[in-house]
Structure 1
Amino acid sequence: MASLLVSIPAAIVTLVLGMVLVLGGLWTGQNIKLLPVGASLNAPVYDELFRVLFSIGTILFIGVVGLLLFSLVRFRRRPGDLGDGLAMEGNLPLEVFWTAVPAVVIFFVGLYSYDIYDRMGGMMPLNQQGHHTMPTIVTNKRIWGGIGSGSVEAIVPAAAQAPLPVEVTAMQFAFLFHYPRAEIISGELHVPAGRQVDLKLEAKDVIHAFWVPEFRLKQDVIPGQPTLLSFTPMMPGRYPIVCAELCGPYHGSMRSVVVVEEPEIFDEWLRRNSNLPTKA
C-alpha cells in the first residue's frame, strides 16, 4: 500500500486533496449554524454572504494550516543531520500559483460583495432628502457564482403598503421609540410582521449603535446626524435590541426589545396606546 501511494504522482495527490478541501469548505459554509434565527426579510441576503465568506475562510485556513503541519513533519531535521538544507532559488509555477489564487479569491469576493450590496439597495439612487430609497426584498431563484443557496433574494420596488415610520432616540442608557402617526412613546419597539419599517435614528449625547442580531441590522447612531434604517420583520416574536457601541459605564445595560406582532395585534396595540384624540 505504501509503495502504491509513493508511485502516485504528486500532482494527482495535490489535485485530489485540493478538491476534497474545496468541497469540504463549501459544505461547511452551507451548513454552518453560528447565526441566530433570521427573523426579517433582510436576513437571508446577509446570511448568504456570510456563508460564502465562511466557506472561503475555511478553505484558506485549513489549506494554510495543513500545509504548515505537513512541512513541519515532512521537512523536519532528522537525527544526525547537521548539514544545510537544499539551496533552492526560484520556482516559477509555485510563484504563479500563490499569486494567482489570492488574486482570484479577492476578485471574486469583491464582485460578490458588490452584488450583495447592490441587491440590498446600496447602489440605488438617492431620493430628494439625500437618503437611499429603501427597497423591499422578495424571493427569487438566483445563484451567483454557483455558490448561492438557490433561494436568493432580489431587490424590487417597495410594496404597495406604506412603511411604518418610527423615530428612535438613543441616549445614555436607553432607547425610546416614537410613533408619529399615533403619538406613542414606548420603551419597546412594536412592529407588524410583513410590513416595512422605516426607522429614523438619532442620538442625544454620545455615539450609540442599534443592533438586532435576528434582523441582521447594526447601525451607528451619531449625535446631530439623523440616520434612516429600513427593514421588514417576518417572524412574530420578541428579539433583543442591543447598543453595540461603548457609550458609558452602563453600556452593558442599554438594551430594549423589538416585538414583532401579527398585523391585527399590532393595530390593536396602536389603537389602545394612541394619544391622538378620538373622532366623535
Structure 2
Amino acid sequence: MQIPSAILTLVIGMVLALGGLWIGQNINLLPIDASANAPIYDELFKVLFTIGSILFIGIVGLLVFSLIRFRRRNGQIGDGVAIEGNLPLEIFWTAVPAVVVLFVGLYSYDIYDRMGGMVPLAHDHMGEAHEQQIWGGISSGSIESAAATNVLPVEVTAMQFAFLFHYPEGDITSGELHVPADRPITLRMEAKDVIHAFWVPEFRLKQDVIPGQPTQLSFTPTRTGRYPIVCAELCGPYHGGMRSTVVVESPEDWDSWYRDNAKAAPEDETLTIANA
C-alpha cells in the first residue's frame, strides 16, 4: 500500500519540527551566561538555532533524496524532464520564507527592546536625565545621586591597544574591570584614537567605542568569575592582543578590593579649620 504524498509530507514536516525543537532546546553552543540580560539573548539564539536546524536538516535531506532518487540511470542521456508551472509549490516556497523572516524580525525587535536597545532612540530625554543623574553628581563632588540608585559608574577608555577603567567615586584606575555581582553597572566609554569595541561573550554584550562620541553601556553581572574583554573592532596591527578581563566578585570581596585601591578622601574642611 502506497502512502499518500500529502500524509508523508505532513509526517516528515512534524519529524523535522520536533527534531529542530529538540536540538534548539538541548544543544547549547554559547558560553556560560554571567549577566542579567544574557538569558534574554539566549532565548533568541534558541529560536534561531531551532529554525536553522529545521531548515538545514530539511534542505540537506531533500538534496540527498534528490541525488539518489533522480540520479542518472544507465544509458540515460541529457537532463530530466523540465517541469514548469507548479503554482502551489511556488506559493509555498515564497510564503514560508516570508513568514519565517517576518517572525524572526519581529521577535528580534522584541528581544532588542527588552535588552534596552531602543531606549536611547525613543526616550532620549530620559536617557540624558539618567546619565546626568549618575555622572553629574560625581563630577560635582556629590555621589549621593548615584548611590541612591545603587548604580556603579565606571569610565572606560579604549586606546591602541588596551582598555583602562576609572572609578570616579574612589578615583581608581585599573587595567581590569572589577565589579560586584548583582549590582547594576554603567560604563561610560570613549576611544582616544580609532573605533574599538567592548565585547564580553559571557555577558552577551558588545558595544562600539567611538572617538569623540561617548557611548554608554549598562548591565548587571550575576555570576562571579573572570571573563575576557575582547576588542571586536579591527583597530590596528595588534588588534588581536587588545584584551582585558572583567572580574565579577561577591559584594564583600569587591568592597575589600575597593577599599584597598581607593584613594583617601580629603579631610572634612570644618575639621581642618577646627584643628588649625
Relative to the length of structure 1, the TM-score reads: 0.84
Residue 24 (structure 1) aligned to one of 19, 22, 43? 19
Q: 1:30 to 1:133 in 2, by over 3 A?
A: farther
1:193 aligns with 2:181: yes
Tell me the equivalent position of 1:65.
60
Distance 1:47 1:69 in 2: 32
1:11 aligns with 2:6: yes
Return 5+ residue gaps in structure 2 as ranges: 132-147, 269-276
1:126 aligns with 2:123: yes
Letter in 2 for 1:224: G
Q: What are the Cα deviations for residues 227-267 of structure 1, in whole angstroms up to 9, with x where unaligned?
A: 00000001111111111112122212111111111112111
Distance 2:99 2:226 in 1: 42
Number of equivalences: 251
Distance 1:181 1:22 in 2: 53
Q: What are the Cα deviations for residues 76-126 of structure 1, in whole angstroms up to 9, with x where unaligned?
A: 121012365324221111111111110110111111112112211233342
RMSD: 2.0
Percent of aligned positions that are identical: 73
| Aligned-residue offset at 1:169 | 0.3
Distance 1:276 1:216 in 2: 36
Letter in 1 for 2:113: D
- Report SS of the residue matched to 1:225: coil
1:37 aligns with 2:32: yes
Distance 2:212 2:229 in 1: 22
Residue 238 (structure 1) aligned to one of 187, 209, 226? 226
Aligned partners of 1:126 and 1:133 also within 8 Å: no
Distance 1:133 1:79 in 2: 75
| Aligned-residue offset at 1:129 | 7.3
- Report SS of the residue matched to 2:125: coil
| Aligned-residue offset at 1:63 | 1.2
Relative to the length of structure 2, the TM-score reads: 0.85
Distance 2:189 2:17 in 1: 43
Residue 216 (structure 1) aligned to one of 179, 200, 204? 204
Q: 1:270 to 1:16 in 2, by over 3 A?
A: same
Greater share of residues in helix: 2
Aligned partners of 1:161 and 1:195 also within 8 Å: no
Higher deviation after alignment, 179-188 or 89-98: 89-98
| Aligned-residue offset at 1:55 | 0.7
Tell me the equivalent position of 1:207.
195
- Report SS of the residue matched to 1:224: coil
- Report SS of the residue matched to 1:268: helix
Aligned partners of 1:193 and 1:235 also within 8 Å: yes
Structure number with bigger Rg: 2
1:52 aligns with 2:47: yes
Aligned partners of 1:209 and 1:219 also within 8 Å: yes
Distance 1:279 1:246 in 2: 46
Letter in 1 for 2:180: P
Q: What are the Cα deviations for residues 184-221 of structure 1, in whole angstroms up to 9, with x where unaligned?
A: 00011000100110001111111111111110111111
Return 5+ residue gaps in structure 1 as ranges: 135-159
Tell me the equivalent position of 2:273.
none
Aligned partners of 1:237 and 1:260 also within 8 Å: yes
Letter in 2 for 1:20: V
Higher deviation after alignment, 65-74 or 122-131: 122-131
Letter in 2 for 1:275: K
Q: 1:93 to 1:263 in 2, by over 3 A?
A: same
